[in-house]
Amino acid sequence: MSGEAQRVAREAGLELREGAAGLALAGDGMELTCDLARLLPRLRPDRLGRELLVRAARVRGVAAPTAVDATAGLGEDSLLLAAAGFTVTMYEKDPVIAALLQDALDRAANEPQLSAIVERMTLVEGDSVAALRAMGAAPDVVFLDPMFPERTKSAAVKKKFQLLHRLERPCEDERELLDAALTAGPRKVVIKRPPKGPCLAGVRPSHAVAGKAVRYDVIVPPRTASE
């Protein structure tokens, strides 16, 4: 855990604590620990293929697909992608959330059921917009899960995730984020939205994979002849 992460947490009125269950973010009488093992039931072969994100991100004819999760958060979506065979590079610009996620990855690496999956997950602490624009090799998929005001006010948001909302602001420039994702040249951009929420930056997707609790908008950029 870096001193920068602890400083940012304290400025938000929170604290990072090392505990038996791992690194925890504490405040307002609540604690939040990133625990990837709790997703194990969703990683079973009979369930993974039915995950909406996996269905939305799937690319045909690619033996070893790659993905960039530009808004990693606590890494749960990246874990689903990695379990489905993607090599995932995750970007998280908030040092506190990055510290929580890195701690979870380190613990998961020692779990027999997760170790092979997290080997395909790499966390980068930094701004994904700049990274996407400077990317040398195009990923197959860029995944976006931007925060937005409706989520922070929703009664459905669990209380403990209010701690995260004190650290990260809703996406301030949706167009910049989407443009950066498209600049990276992926086969598709997958965007997580609420089921009845607006399209990111007002851009209509090529298609969507929707459920009762979430919708994944998929933008498929036109491919050039050389691709």
**CATH code of 44's domain:** 3.40.50.150
Q: Residue 142 domain-assigned?
A: yes
Average pLDDT over residues 215-220: 97
pLDDT digits (tens, 9 = 90+) for 12-38: 999 999 988 899 999 988 889 999 999
224: in domain: no
pLDDT confidence band for 3 (50 / 70 / 90): confident
Pair 97, 78: CB distance under 8 Å: no
**Pair 25, 9: CB distance under 8 Å:** yes
pLDDT band for 151, please (50, 70, 90 cuts): very low
Give the Cα separation of 12 and 192 in Å (integer): 26
How many Cβ atoms sit within 10 Å of the Cβ of residue 43? 19
pLDDT per position as a tens digit, 86-119: 999 999 999 999 999 999 999 999 999 999 999 9
Examine residue 113 and state whether it is found in any structural domain, yes or no. yes
- Percent of the chain scoring above 70 in pLDDT: 89
129-148: average pLDDT: 92
Q: List CB contacts of 1: < 8 A, sequence separation 6 or more.
A: 16, 18, 23, 99, 103
Taking the chain, what is the end-to-end CA distance rounded to the nearest angstrom? 42
Look at residue 227 and tell me if it is in a domain: no
The answer to whether position 226 is within a domain reads: no
Model confidence band, residue 51 (pLDDT cutoffs 50, 70, 90): very high
| pLDDT score of 171 more than 70 | no
Residue 115: φ, ψ to 5°: -60, -45
pLDDT, residue 160, reads 62
Q: DSSP letters of 75-131?
A: SHHHHHHHHTT-EEEEEE--HHHHHHHHHHHHHHTTSTTTHHHHTTEEEEES-HHHH
Residue 126 in any domain: the answer is: yes
What pLDDT is recorded for position 167?
83
Among the listed residues 172, 31, 29, 4, the one whose alpha carbon sits nearest the alpha carbon of residue 96: 4
Closest CA to 53 of 198, 182, 192: 192
Question: What share of the chain in percent tops pLDDT 90?
Answer: 80
Q: Is residue 109 part of a domain?
A: yes
The predicted structure's pLDDT at residue 227: 53
Give domain status of residue 98, yes or no: yes
Name the residue range of residue 151's domain.
3-219
- The tally of domains found in the chain comes to 1
Query: Chain-wide mean pLDDT for the chain?
Result: 90
